Amino acid sequence: MSLSTFRFGDGNPQYDAQGRLRHLLNTEGLREPEMLQILDTAESFLSIAQRSVKKTPTLRGKTIVNLFFENSTRTRSTFELAAKRLSADVLNIAVSTSSTSKGESLIDTVDNLMAMQVDGFVIRHPEAGAAHLIARHLGDSALVINAGDGQHAHPTQALLDVFTIRRLAGPIEDRVVAIVGDVLHSRVARSQIHALSILGCPEIRVIGPQTLVPKELSALGVHVYHDLQAGLRGVDVICALRLQKERMESHRLPSLDEFHRRFGLTPERLQWAQPDALVLHPGPMNRGVEIASEVADGHQAVILQQVAHGLAVRMAVLTLLAGAAGGGENHA
């Protein structure tokens, strides 16, 4: 007798039952054509930004809620601007994290906003899986974009990073990329790894001390380095990560200076990589910790371009998801 074993854990809620992308929760599991479609659409939005009239009517009449349970300047403001440039109405809600544990549940907050007939949520939350929970709850009734959930995922950041690499460093399928710093706690790094893998990056390296870059990361298909010089050798793109000060309190590092001594990106150390290797950073930077000012302000850094690209990528994501929800005219 063969009995079925239905495993609920298998379901990826970013797709609907027909396999259409309804939410953007992570780069993990995205199909390559979908990712390319987002990147190509972002290219067209980049040119719109150069015009004197920067608005398109794509999302006219739609309401997008920026629901942020964590502080953010860059992500929140680029999402807001992206939605506004698409002519959507935008509601910004900043919820203090403490109120979720004692007061209203996350689902109740979302349901209350749904009662106001909104069309989509951009959500940032300090806990991994929060956006999945909401997407599973809402199903097809509104779109959900994960703008960062705990240490899990930050897909639009990863998309803007691969967009930047593709534009400024050439085809990802023959570029070696290194991610340097606190990978363990970084949702950006996780989403970058998935995005790069899907786009065929031949070699992804993660570099940092074992306390922040555990060997088990190799399960994600990356090469693990605990030595900066070895890790940077021959690399075309360097993605620095922000180092959180809390890591000192949890004894994962002796000090910020010690981290800089081993893994800080300085002009001298950049020479270990390919000449003119690109330097990315998701911001906000700790100058003098993970990145020296000379590098941050140097010609190899593309940190401000990343911000501009972020706007275009977020416009692309909103357009594609809202288009899919509105009957699929943009989904083809």
CB atoms within 10 A of CB 215: 9
Which run of H or of E encompasses 43? helix 32-48
Taking alpha carbons only, the member of 307, 255, 256 closest to residue 281 is 307
Output 12 or 271, the one with its CB closest to another protein.
12
- For residues 151 and 103, give the distance between their C-alpha atoms in angstroms, rounded to a whole number: 23
Binding residues vs another protein (CB under 8 A)? 1, 3-13, 28, 101, 105-108, 125, 127-130, 132-133, 137, 149-153, 184, 187, 190, 214, 216-220
CB of 128 to another protein, least distance (A): 4
Output 5 or 73, the one with its CB closest to another protein.
5
- For residues 82 and 55, give the distance between their C-alpha atoms in angstroms, rounded to a whole number: 9
Output 151 or 286, the one with its CB closest to another protein.
151
Output 7 or 51, the one with its CB closest to another protein.
7
DSSP letters for 115-176 = TTT--EEEEEESSTTHHHHHHHHHTTSSEEEEEEETTTB-HHHHHHHHHHHHHHH--GGG-E
Output 167 or 226, the one with its CB closest to another protein.
226
CB of 240 to another protein, least distance (A): 19
CB of 309 to another protein, least distance (A): 24
- For residues 62 and 258, give the distance between their C-alpha atoms in angstroms, rounded to a whole number: 49
CB of 97 to another protein, least distance (A): 12
CB of 185 to another protein, least distance (A): 8
